Amino acid sequence: MTIHDITVPLSPDLPVYPGDPPVTCEPVTRIARGDTANVTRITMTTHSGTHLDVPGHCRDGGATVDHLPLSLLMGKARVLDIRGERAIGRHELSRLPVRGEERLLLRTDNSLLWDSPGFQDDFAHLTEEGAAFLIEAGVRLVGIDYLSIEGIASGITVHRMLLDAGVVILEGITLAEVEPGEYELVCLPLKIAGGDGAPARAILRGREPKGGETPFDPHTTRWPVA
């Protein structure tokens, strides 16, 4: 079994979306100062780093993160290799194994941007046509390897298209070390009451079949226990 941690570390150096406050980590108590324990105050938005967008992010009265069914956030997921494309539309997606998949993670050139200081606005993103294609295909969760699913110029149009159709958005993952293919996604957001989104820890589980083996199925008793 292989476990890929696709979560970016939270730190003051983490890029944030333009207009959002930075992540801060402030010591509250420190053993080195004579306190009994180390405690840190963290300040960040609900959309810092690896995080989920839910309908309440773009619509007042929309579903909030504490009401998301965990079954949507755990299960079979397919990583699509779409490097080399900046605007990801219907044409780019129609060539890939999209139909029949509930959870899709888009591996783009964005995964390399995490090593660059500050926010990079020339990132690969989903277009309105791409969003419409995913909705038609029955996708229920889509993830991308930077801080927004859509480009700066389009505002929140793509967000609203996806979220209004019940497609949850996972943003801020890193897929630089993940090969395209089928995995099991485990994505657990902070349970924030009334939250318009939430930071999450996201991992992918899977393994390569050895010679003569059938493909790995994480939903059978063949799952290794150790």
Q: How many whole angstroms separate alpha carbon 142 and alpha carbon 170?
A: 6
- Which residue bears the tokens 């957001």? 189
Q: How many whole angstroms separate alpha carbon 61 and alpha carbon 208?
A: 43
Q: Find all residues with CB under 8 Å of 134, minimum gap 6, and list them.
A: 93, 98, 104, 126, 142, 162, 167
Do residues 142 and 149 make contact, with C-beta atoms less than 8 angstroms apart?
Answer: yes
57 as an active site residue: the answer is yes
What DSSP string describes 50-93?
SEEE-GGGTSTT---GGGS-HHHHEEEEEEEE-TT-SEE-HHHH
Give me the catalytic one of 57, 67, 159, 219: 57
Which positions are annotated as active-site residues?
A: 57
